[in-house]
Amino acid sequence: MRGLVIIATQFFTEDAGIAEIARAKSAYETTDLRPKLARWHADVDNAFRGWNDAWLDPDFRKWDITDVLAYVRVPVLIVQGADDQYGTVRQIEVAQAECYCPVDVALLPGVRHAPHREGSALLLAEVSGFANRLLRDHREGDVKETMNG
C-alpha cells in the first residue's frame, strides 16, 4: 500500500458531533429523514439505529482511536467537508500531530459529512491528484518500454 485516503473521518468523539447525532435521532423520529435514508438502506431502521444508538450511548464518549494513528506509515489524504456536522477540523489536527507520515488535507468548501454526494467532483479531483502524486513519487506510473527481439 502506497497511501491512504480517509474521508469524513472521526478518530474520537466531540460534543458538537454527539449533539448533531442527537438531532439526527429526533429528525429520524419526527421528519421525512427515515424515507430519505430508506433509498440507501434495505433495512433502514437497523442501519440508522445501529449507528445512532451506538454513538449516543454514554459509554461511547470514551471512544478514541488516536493512539493507532502513530502506526500509519504511508502518506495520508484526509478529505473532510468544511461544514461537516459530525467532526471538526480538530480531527485533522490530531491526525497531523499523531501520524509519522505526511498528512495532506482537503477541506471541501460547502460540503458537510458526505463528500461523495455533496462534493463529488471536488472529492474526485483531490483523490486522483493524491493518487497521481503517489504514483509519480514511486515511479509506478511510468510507462515501461519493452524491447522486441
74, 1 Cβ separation under 8 angstroms: yes
Residue 143: predicted pLDDT: 55
* d(C-alpha 82, C-alpha 95), whole Å: 16
Instruction: Report DSSP state, residue 70.
Output: G
Compute the mean pLDDT over every residue in the chain, rounded to the nearest whole number.
Answer: 92
What local confidence, expressed as pLDDT, does residue 148 receive? 55
Per-residue pLDDT of 9-47, as tens digits, reads 999 999 999 999 999 999 999 999 999 999 999 999 999
